[in-house]
Amino acid sequence: MANEPGKRKEPAASQKMAFRGGLTRDAVVAAICGFVVVLMVGASYAAVPFYNWFCRATGFNGTTQVATSAPAGAPLERKIAVRFDSNVAPGLPWKFQPEQTEIEVKIGEVVTVFYNVTNQSARTTTGQAAYNVAPLTVGAYFQKINCFCFTEQTMAPGEKREMPVVFYVDPSIVNDSDNDGLSTITLSYTFYPVRDPAVKPLAAGESDKPKGNL
């Protein structure tokens, strides 16, 4: 029997089921995509500290190592040249340069060098240095005992400061075939501005000092 004029033809049951099935699949796909995005964002945040830890632990990408003491044995007779590079990122009004651009050291010898820093602005500023060595294969053997890069540096207007770096080249580098024939290492620093420096706690009892005569 023909449909009456003006009346809409109702879809068949099979068409309704297919329509609902399509909506269900779309919802599942959307949910999966959302989960993948959340997972990727979470992984990206977790990857930053993991990458930093991995670089420090392995020397990957030229990241130097942190040593707590000098090497046990005597320095080797083999010498190597160490060059010093300095950079300041935009936004930090500092003059930053090494006292010496290159020195020659024995492998395993503990050496102290200095960088000079001047805050050229009329306000207090804070920066922190990032660092690496080249070639990148040397990172696992370049041991720093003391370095200004370990903490934030806050400089008063016009302040000048001499900053030491204490380091040695691990003697085990001579057993690494990737560094056969190595004659020069470059230690590079870049100071970046710190927008929100860490607040230093007051000394014990400082807040309780009287602020005038009683």
pTM (global) more than 0.85: no
Q: Residue 67 pLDDT > 50, yes or no?
A: yes
SS3 annotation, the chain: CCCCCCCCCCCCHHHHHHHHHHHHHHHHHHHHHHHHHHHHHHHHHHHHHHHHHHHHHHCHHHCCEECCCCCCCCCCCCEEEEEEEEEECCCCCEEEEECCCEEEEECCCCEEEEEEEEECCCCCEEEEEEEEEECHHHHHHEEEEEEHHHCCEEECCCCEEEEEEEEEECHHHHHCHHHCCCCEEEEEEEEEECCCCCCCCCCCCHHHCCCCCC
pLDDT in tens, 69-78: 788 889 999 9
pLDDT in tens, 130-157: 999 999 999 999 999 999 998 999 999 9
Q: Residue 192 pLDDT > 90, yes or no?
A: yes
Q: Residue 64 pLDDT > 70, yes or no?
A: no
pLDDT, residue 65, reads 72
